[in-house]
Protein backbone atom coordinates (compact mmCIF):
# COMPACT_ATOMS: atom_id res chain seq x y z
CA UNK A 1 0.00 0.00 0.00
CA UNK A 2 1.29 3.43 -0.96
CA UNK A 3 0.28 7.01 -0.34
CA UNK A 4 0.39 9.18 -3.45
CA UNK A 5 3.68 10.74 -2.26
CA UNK A 6 5.26 7.33 -1.63
CA UNK A 7 4.04 6.01 -4.99
CA UNK A 8 5.49 9.01 -6.81
CA UNK A 9 8.80 8.53 -4.99
CA UNK A 10 8.85 4.78 -5.75
CA UNK A 11 7.95 5.58 -9.37
CA UNK A 12 11.12 7.57 -9.89
CA UNK A 13 9.41 10.95 -9.62
CA UNK A 14 7.21 10.45 -12.70
CA UNK A 15 3.76 12.02 -12.74
CA UNK A 16 1.34 10.00 -10.60
CA UNK A 17 -1.06 9.53 -13.53
CA UNK A 18 1.71 8.04 -15.67
CA UNK A 19 2.75 5.70 -12.85
CA UNK A 20 -0.82 4.54 -12.32
CA UNK A 21 -1.39 4.08 -16.07
CA UNK A 22 1.66 1.78 -16.20
CA UNK A 23 0.60 -0.16 -13.10
CA UNK A 24 -2.93 -0.56 -14.41
CA UNK A 25 -1.77 -1.78 -17.83
CA UNK A 26 0.44 -4.36 -16.07
CA UNK A 27 -2.51 -5.44 -13.86
CA UNK A 28 -0.59 -4.53 -10.71
CA UNK A 29 -3.31 -2.56 -8.93
CA UNK A 30 -4.53 -5.10 -6.36
CA UNK A 31 -7.67 -3.36 -5.10
CA UNK A 32 -9.45 -0.04 -5.50
CA UNK A 33 -12.75 1.71 -4.90
CA UNK A 34 -15.26 2.10 -7.71
CA UNK A 35 -14.25 4.79 -10.21
CA UNK A 36 -10.89 5.25 -8.50
CA UNK A 37 -7.42 3.72 -8.56
CA UNK A 38 -7.02 4.13 -4.81
CA UNK A 39 -8.88 2.55 -1.92
CA UNK A 40 -10.16 4.36 1.16
CA UNK A 41 -8.38 2.52 3.96
CA UNK A 42 -8.71 2.81 7.74
CA UNK A 43 -5.41 2.93 9.62
CA UNK A 44 -5.57 2.64 13.41
CA UNK A 45 -4.53 5.87 15.09
CA UNK A 46 -4.68 7.82 11.84
CA UNK A 47 -8.16 7.31 10.42
CA UNK A 48 -9.26 6.87 6.82
CA UNK A 49 -6.95 7.73 3.98
CA UNK A 50 -6.68 6.91 0.28
CA UNK A 51 -3.99 4.33 -0.44
CA UNK A 52 -2.83 2.62 -3.62
CA UNK A 53 -2.88 -1.16 -3.23
CA UNK A 54 -0.10 -2.35 -5.53
CA UNK A 55 1.03 -5.91 -6.21
CA UNK A 56 4.67 -6.89 -6.53
CA UNK A 57 5.36 -8.18 -10.07
CA UNK A 58 6.18 -11.63 -8.64
CA UNK A 59 2.72 -11.78 -7.00
CA UNK A 60 0.91 -11.81 -10.34
Cβ burial 3-41 (10 Å sphere, 16+ → b, else e): eeeebbeebeeeeeeebbeebeeeebbeebeeeebbbeb
Predicted local confidence at residue 12, as pLDDT: 93
Residue-wise pLDDT tens digits, 16-60: 999 999 999 999 999 999 999 999 999 999 999 999 999 998 876
Amino acid sequence: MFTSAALKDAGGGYDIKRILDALESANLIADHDANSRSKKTHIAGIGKTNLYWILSPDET
